[in-house]
Amino acid sequence: MSRVLGRIFVASLARRRLATALSLFAIALGVALGLAVQIIHGAALDEFGRGMRLLSGEADLQVAGSRDGFDDALYGRLAMRDEVADASPVVELEVRLPAHDRSLSLFGLDALRVAYVHPALMPQQVDDARRDDVALAALQPDALFLSPAAQAELGVSAGERLDVLAGARVVSLRVAGAVPGAGQGRALAVMDIAAAQQLFGRPGRITRIDLRLKPGIDVGAARDALAADLPAGVAVLTPHAAEELAAGLSRAYRVNLTMLAAIALVTGGFLVFSTQFLAVARRRQEFAFLRALGLGRGALMRGLLIEGAVVGIAGGLLGIAFGHGIAAVAFDVAGGDLGAGYFSGVSPALRFDLAASGTYLLLGVLAGLAGAWLPAREARHMLPARALKSGDEASMFRFHPRPRRAAACLAGAAVLCLLPPLAGVPVFGYLAVALILVGAVLVLPMLVRGVTRVASRPRRALWRLANARLAAAPGQGVVAGAGVVASVALAVAMAIMVASFRDSVDRWLTAVLPADLYVSASPQGTSGFLDPAALARIAALPGVSRTMPVRFDTLRLDDRHLPVSLIARPLDGGKLLPLVGLSVPPSAGEKPAWVSEAMADLFALGAGDRIVLPLGGNPVAFRVAGVWRDYARQQGAVAIELADYRAATGDLVANDVGVFLAAGTSFDTVAAAVRDILGENTVRIASPGEIRARSLAIFDRTFLVTYAMEAVAVLIGLFGVSTSFAVLAIARRKEFGMLRHLGMTRREVGRLITLEGVLTAAAGTVLGLLAGTAVAFVLIEVVNRQSFHWSMDLHVPFGGLLAFAAIVIALAGLAARVSGYQAMRGSALLAVREDW
């Protein structure tokens, strides 16, 4: 393109600075958000994967069972097999550190085997010169070796001591050295496997065996051969499969955030569209003139597309800078999982991600090009002779209502909602959301026409003018209103979804926390537990009417899924669970189990089905008596009666105990009595209210990013409305001049513009509310259900939504009025003479 044409096209961007800046900013935001999500999760996943690879070391296969582990006699059997070159037994524990109010991953290892299978976990004594001592130093029962990250985070160095919680006892361990191979990214501790078993009350149990196969042994064949030899609930996986399973858990969450970023990007593209569209309308005569001077159709179209691309490139580059900035801040503030808790114990570092940056820059350019496409095509198709005349731009705003297309979109959305997810990602749900939005935008012109018809009943001139204007050029209203529809719909959908979710979580917490006081020895399956003696003493305390011990474990049901959580507690035939749907009481002699919605979805289970749970290394048959709602364990959970668990395993300890107080007993008295029995710092004692508040705080933190992105989407939508009106107002300067000539005051013209804005925005907002509710329904019933496998009750925050709608309409009116005044700043005479 010649320099002259460059001046004509690209330079025109500079002439409408505000509109260009807003489009550019919207694209930049979309790119920045998407890129930030990508970088943050990419880095977190990398680090997570590196952590897992570090822990699996050079293992070809990993044998793993439940969190509580399996009989360690299996180790000798597997290690002696012909296929196996080296085997390394592991006891994995989350150890609570009473002095630091956190837990630490601890690996009980055989220091003599570590070097062959996971050299990175090799403990190293402080005094490196005395290499010979390491073997025995690492065998000492009180010797703990900390990774550099753990030493830094805990502020404990070699030679000092670290208190850990073992059962309900605080034990002081000596930090004998480091685990230098663990790198900076991961806080972990290593100690001798026998010492870990004894100290943490796990005699005869290990959680993992890592195997290195002999050279030339086929991993798949060895895996099959080994799998046949394993007890119930123990699976053999390749480290890669284990990593995939773990990463898969957060995939739905990551896709969700990426979708939000995509919405911001699409909005940016839409903004480019609306400004370009109106700019093309305004410059129609200019283009006709250029065409008459010999500019080809193609060159005209290319010029306009380049305008869009330039906005896209600039926005994209700005977005890349923003995106890395956001990621840096997010790593500092919220951690690698943006507060959602998927990657705890992982501290990733910010890196420039060339591939992701390139991709998002390209997406930014595409958004700019897509926004410029329709206006450019429109310009290409105009007839120069006609367009040279004034008023021809009105033809651009002739908008044909397309009821069939709108209906097809909405029907398509309904059908997509019925389809299952692809690889755990609700692809069709997201498509349905997109179709609903498109359908709503297609419905908009019909609605605008309807609104104006109703509105023009009063005989007042202003109303009739507004009506005439909107009826004559509905396209203008559509361009301005579509932004309103999209942003209102998304905001409303998110608001309804989050409100429903929060409300459901709140009620769920009430249902799962029936007791008056909770004593927790191990909040997340950590090293603490309550033995039968401690449980008996708590039950015997004065003021305690009843206790409800809870035992947590995980069960590995097959090698295609992550282990599900096992919750064994008194359930009173399921009455103490937040059940959904029908329940089927098991017949006599059958043991009932209640599965969470996630487990029902993942394992295709329903009430009445038979299910085999590996308890204590043996398969035990249960009947699914019902499905319950669980927001806490996305990989699935199964609840069984504590008595059944104890009968099957002989395991009498508990992780938590819920305490029901006798009437008139105070919480504090019993809490103090429990602390007297168990000691300070060994257990957490909380009321259901505290647990609820804490859980909801976690909930809000999880949705913090969602809220932020939602706000950005609304903001960009409002930008769209105001730029649309600004450009429209400029385009209509002639018209305003005419009205002034006819005797209308500036104030009256301003009121007219405001009225038009309000009417358009009202139509858009009403439609946005309706579309938003539909989208919320899809989000709740399809996207959330398929992503996270949990249901929720629809809860519409009417008050908030109405207030929001009113604000949007008012802001739209204000935006229209401000832009109108700007447009009328010039002389009415000049404005009219422009045409004649």
Residues making contact with another protein (CB under 8 A) = 72-73, 76, 79-80, 89, 110, 112-113, 125, 127, 130-133, 135-137, 139-143, 174, 176, 192-195, 197-198, 203-204
* Closest of 585, 694, 571 to residue 638, by C-alpha: 571
Name the residue nearer to another protein (CB basis): 179 or 494: 179
Sign of the C-alpha dihedral computed for residues 17, 23, 24 and 26 taken in this order: positive
The structure tokens listed for 244 are: 């995939």
* Closest of 769, 805, 796 to residue 499, by C-alpha: 796
The structure tokens listed for 215 are: 């050279």
* Closest of 516, 549, 515 to residue 665, by C-alpha: 516
Rounded to a whole number of angstroms, the minimum distance from the CB of residue 116 to another protein is 10
Name the residue nearer to another protein (CB basis): 226 or 729: 226
Rounded to a whole number of angstroms, the minimum distance from the CB of residue 645 to another protein is 24
Rounded to a whole number of angstroms, the minimum distance from the CB of residue 199 to another protein is 9
Name the residue nearer to another protein (CB basis): 127 or 590: 127
Asked if 272 contacts 340 with a C-beta cutoff of 8 angstroms, the reply is no
Rounded to a whole number of angstroms, the minimum distance from the CB of residue 552 to another protein is 23
- How many CA atoms are closer than 13 Å to the CA of 428, on its beta-carbon side? 17
Name the residue nearer to another protein (CB basis): 230 or 557: 230
Rounded to a whole number of angstroms, the minimum distance from the CB of residue 140 to another protein is 5
- For residue 100, what are the CA distances in angstroms to 44, 150, 154, 162? 24, 12, 7, 10
Please work out, in degrees rounded to the nearest 5, the angle formed at the alpha carbon of residue 575 by the alpha carbons of 571 and 577: 70
Name the residue nearer to another protein (CB basis): 195 or 519: 195
Rounded to a whole number of angstroms, the minimum distance from the CB of residue 88 to another protein is 11
Say whether 354 sits in a helix, a strand or coil.
helix
Asked if 421 contacts 497 with a C-beta cutoff of 8 angstroms, the reply is no
Rounded to a whole number of angstroms, the minimum distance from the CB of residue 77 to another protein is 8
CA distance 473 to 397: 5
* Closest of 208, 105, 220, 206 to residue 154, by C-alpha: 105
Rounded to a whole number of angstroms, the minimum distance from the CB of residue 342 to another protein is 33
Rounded to a whole number of angstroms, the minimum distance from the CB of residue 789 to another protein is 39
Name the residue nearer to another protein (CB basis): 87 or 774: 87
Instruction: Tell me the pairing of strands 235-237 and 208-213.
Output: unpaired
Name the residue nearer to another protein (CB basis): 141 or 800: 141
- For residue 360, what are the CA distances in angstroms to 35, 36, 272, 318, 327? 6, 10, 17, 11, 15
CA distance 630 to 765: 35
Name the residue nearer to another protein (CB basis): 61 or 396: 61
CA distance 354 to 362: 12
Rounded to a whole number of angstroms, the minimum distance from the CB of residue 203 to another protein is 6
Q: Decide: residue 431, CB within 10 A, 0-12 exposed, 13-18 middle, 19+ buried.
A: middle
Name the residue nearer to another protein (CB basis): 7 or 130: 130
Name the residue nearer to another protein (CB basis): 198 or 687: 198
Name the residue nearer to another protein (CB basis): 132 or 680: 132
DSSP state of 715: H
Name the residue nearer to another protein (CB basis): 112 or 329: 112
Please work out, in degrees rounded to the nearest 5, the angle formed at the alpha carbon of residue 268 by the alpha carbons of 262 and 273: 125
The structure tokens listed for 344 are: 């705890």
Name the residue nearer to another protein (CB basis): 195 or 602: 195
CA distance 633 to 635: 6
The structure tokens listed for 250 are: 């957060």
Rounded to a whole number of angstroms, the minimum distance from the CB of residue 176 to another protein is 8
Rounded to a whole number of angstroms, the minimum distance from the CB of residue 224 to another protein is 23
The structure tokens listed for 58 are: 């050079």
Rounded to a whole number of angstroms, the minimum distance from the CB of residue 142 to another protein is 7
Rounded to a whole number of angstroms, the minimum distance from the CB of residue 681 to another protein is 22
* Closest of 53, 30, 49, 29 to residue 41, by C-alpha: 49
Rounded to a whole number of angstroms, the minimum distance from the CB of residue 532 to another protein is 19
- For residue 748, what are the CA distances in angstroms to 455, 476, 759, 761, 824? 18, 20, 16, 20, 12
Instruction: Tell me the pairing of strands 188-192 and 143-146.
Output: antiparallel
CA distance 678 to 26: 57
* Phi, psi for residue 390 in degrees, rounded to 5: -70, 150
DSSP letters spanning 21-71: HHHHHHHHHHHHHHHHHHHHHHHHHHHHHHHHHHHHTT-SEEEE--TT-EE
Rounded to a whole number of angstroms, the minimum distance from the CB of residue 179 to another protein is 18
Name the residue nearer to another protein (CB basis): 73 or 454: 73
- For residue 26, what are the CA distances in angstroms to 8, 488, 767? 24, 16, 23
Asked if 429 contacts 786 with a C-beta cutoff of 8 angstroms, the reply is yes
Name the residue nearer to another protein (CB basis): 86 or 392: 86
Name the residue nearer to another protein (CB basis): 216 or 664: 216
